[in-house]
Chains A and B, each alone.
Chain A
Amino acid sequence: MTLAIDIVLSGLVLGGMYALFALGLTLQYGVARILNLSYGEFLIGAAFGTFHLYVGMSVSPILGLLVLLPLSFVLNWLFYQVVLIPLVRRAKDQGMLEVDSILATFGVLFVIQGVMTLTFGGQLHSYSYLSVPVTILGATLAANRLLAMLVAVLIGGGLYLLLTRTRTGTAVRAVSVNPMAAQLSGIDVRSVSALAFAAGGAIVAAGGVLVSMFLTFSAAMGVVFTMKALIVVIMGGVGNMLGALVAGLMLGVAETAVARLVDPGLTLAVTYALFLAALLWRPTGLLGRTTL
């Protein structure tokens, strides 16, 4: 019984981190229709920001959130307005925009990576913050990972409420479902997309800040997070906040269960098995619409 509780709680904490990676991407991909391959670089960027604020200036990562979140919001908004708008303008349909945005953000990935390597060096970075045990129902968890999960739930839940309860949220959802129809009903698709893209950027910065507390990172590691986020987004259903949250948590629990009960060597295999199963039986995602 204690093992079961331990597995579920540790799994939820790991899954919370995965969900956090994915929430921002699902906004960027689901609403702004930009499959942002440089997504993980923004995460690493925020992690570097936190590292230098904490190690260099003793600013706690929690306070770092207050600085880096708005900063990333603004940067991503500018990124959308300057780099991506020309692609949006010239795209004849969604497919073309997707291909163009993949190519463009693939390039941006290298630019950001290069700038970070140049500024911070290529070596591994790591620091200790809130690396203390918290015991819940007999299961020992790391406080920093628990915090990351709570923030993920908070952001996921908050976004869900924003999207379903506010006027802007309704507009965002409308753009996500059908940009053409949204435009016809008087929604400014471009500014709503920019908003969603920037919000996604703010969320990924939150992910970077929190992840930097317990993962060792380097300038070259962004793509790892992009991949994980992409898996979770597709499993959860593109543009679906709750779906990303559920898929992330599910992956976390499945990986932990396999590591504890079967063999830690099979955690990657279970991730991709679940991903494959989701693609085969629920190609629009766990909570995705059945028709698009």
Chain B
Amino acid sequence: MNTRRAALFRTIALAVAAIWGISTAVQAQDTIKIGWAISKTGPFAAGANVTTLPNYQVWVKDVNDAGGIKVGGKKMKLQVIEYDDRSNSEEMIKAVERLATQDKVDFILPPWSTGLNLAAAPVFHRLGYPQLAVTANTNDAVKFTSRWPGLSFWLGLPSELVDGLLETLTKLQKEGKIGKKIAMVAVGDQFGIEQSKAARAGLTKAGFDLAYDKSYPFGSQDLQPVVKDAMATKPDAFVAFSYPPDTFGLTAASQVVGFNPKVFFVGVGTAFPAFKGKFGAAAEGIMGIGASDPNLEGIKWYIQHHKQIIGREPDRWASPITYASLQVLQQAIERVGKIDRPAIIKEINAGSFDTIIGKVKLEKGLNRNFWAVGQWQGGNYVGIAPASKQGAGAPMVPKPAWK
């Protein structure tokens, strides 16, 4: 008992010494304070923990391992203050206000999801912080960026993502690789409704035949009925504007009933490492929303690097873009050479940056370097649309049989 108590005492003493050591080290050195409020609990935690938080952690580690960000000849390390917004917009706004007014951080990294980012935008603007809202996606993006200059969007407009899919389908149809019959499903919330609305209009205009067009409630635990009815229409392409749990559910149900149309497209989550983990070789040929170019040196390095630090692969769509957005922030700070947020916002909007996803130059606050459609090809998630983009892969159609 005595030795155990002694051991415990030693541990505590060590811990105290360590913490004290860290805090004195921090005081002695000039640091940049970075804050973020992120959904660590609640329904958004699943998404935030895949796309956003790991990248914040990787970036902070990378910057600090390299000695810090160079600000006017002096290297400044990052010091992090983190809050959990509990997937709640009021909590998030409180945390952002607190970060700015009490913690007096130099920069605030944005929350996860379209909803939270749009809720945060006026607050970021009022407090004068740049907001690189990577996980926000809205057709009104330009309206918002002209109102709040610190705000920027990174994934392409929802309509542009749909355009990418339409471009792929139209091209395949013209080449005679697929027929005109499409089965479309969408999750019954804002994302699914907006995307399917745009797709419906575009598909009809392009002369496609929408044989099946239904929505299902978010959180549906059995999607086999949807898949069976879609399958009964014998479509050439299956298009689903789905969210992560249903993206997995639709794919699994299709695999079970042997629904294997020439084009199989599912929504958010297709690019997740868990998707590849679950379906393995059966993921081959599945198309999904967004992508990255696995042949870029930056992306190759990034996937390995993320795996090494976080212990798993990143998602292949918004994760690399999140990391790239942080590189943009870092380069903008270095170019301005001091913690002058208005000047940094100006530089983010006007400058041109080299990142892991290639060159980034915002136009009206929108990143134009994005992929609309990707496809699993040989264990890699390859960007296939816009086809005009450098590095675009050729779509693998028809999709191979389920393995």
Contact = CB atoms under 8 A, between A and B. Distances in A.
Interface of A: 6-7, 10, 13-14, 17, 55, 110, 113-114, 117, 121-128, 131-133, 140-142, 145, 214-216, 218-221, 224, 228, 252, 255-256, 259-260, 263-265, 267-268
Nearest to B315: A123
Interface stretch (B113-121, B144-152, B251-259, B292-300): B251-259
A17 B42 CA distance: 24
Given A123-B46, A220-B42, A264-B220, A133 B274 contact: no
A117 B256 contact: no
Nearest to A268: B217
Contacts of A268: 217
B217 A267 contact: yes
Contacts of B45: 117, 122, 218-220
B244 A142 contact: no
B219 A142 contact: no
B221 interface: yes
B57 to A, nearest CB: 11
B82 interface: no
Q: Is the interface of B mostly helix, strand, loop or mixed?
A: helix
B226 A123 contact: no
Given A260-B228, A265-B188, A14 B221 contact: yes
Nearest to B49: A122
A114 B42 CA distance: 10
Given A216-B248, A264-B216, A14 B222 contact: yes
For the complex of A and B, 10 pairs with smallest distance between CB atoms: A122-B49, A122-B45, A259-B225, A218-B46, A264-B216, A216-B248, A142-B256, A123-B49, A268-B217, A126-B278
Contacts of A125: 274
A220 B244 CA distance: 14
7 contacts: A6-B228, A110-B41, A125-B274, A142-B256, A216-B248, A219-B45, A265-B217
Interface in B136-182: none
A132 B228 CA distance: 15
Interface in B218-247: 219-222, 224-226, 228-229, 244-245
A65 B55 CA distance: 36
B332 interface: no
A46 B343 CA distance: 52
A97 to B, nearest CB: 28
Interface string B260-281: 0000000001001011011110
Contacts of A132: 256
A13 B50 CA distance: 31
Contact of A133 (B50, B220, B256, B278): B256
B229 A220 contact: no
A126 B269 CA distance: 12
Contact of B221 (A7, A10, A55, A215): A215
A49 B258 CA distance: 30
B31 interface: no
A46 B278 CA distance: 18
A221 B106 CA distance: 34
Nearest to A121: B49
B221 A124 contact: no
B215 interface: yes
Interface centre among B219, B228, B280 (most CB of A within 10 A): B228
Nearest to B39: A122
Contact of A216 (B41, B48, B245, B253): B245
A214 B312 CA distance: 22
A215 to B, nearest CB: 6
Nearest to A255: B222
Contacts of B72: none
B40 interface: yes
Contacts of B277: 55, 126-127
Contact of A10 (B216, B225, B252, B282): B225
B143 to A, nearest CB: 30
B5 to A, nearest CB: 25
Given A128-B279, A128-B280, A220 B222 contact: no
Given A124-B274, A268-B217, A131 B255 contact: yes
B214 interface: yes
Contacts of A126: 248, 274-275, 277-278
A268 B42 CA distance: 21
B164 to A, nearest CB: 24
Contacts of A214: 249, 252
B43 interface: yes
A1 B185 CA distance: 26
A7 B228 CA distance: 10
A265 B215 contact: yes
B241 to A, nearest CB: 13
A154 B219 CA distance: 27
A83 B160 CA distance: 54
A128 B252 contact: yes
Contacts of B272: 124
Contacts of A6: 228
Contacts of B49: 121-123, 218
A147 B187 CA distance: 27
A14 B222 CA distance: 7
Contacts of B253: 142
Given A122-B40, A128-B252, A265-B188, A259 B216 contact: yes
A62 to B, nearest CB: 19
A117 B41 contact: yes
Contacts of A145: 222
A50 B49 CA distance: 21
B215 to A, nearest CB: 5
B257 A133 contact: yes
A131 B222 contact: no
B264 to A, nearest CB: 16
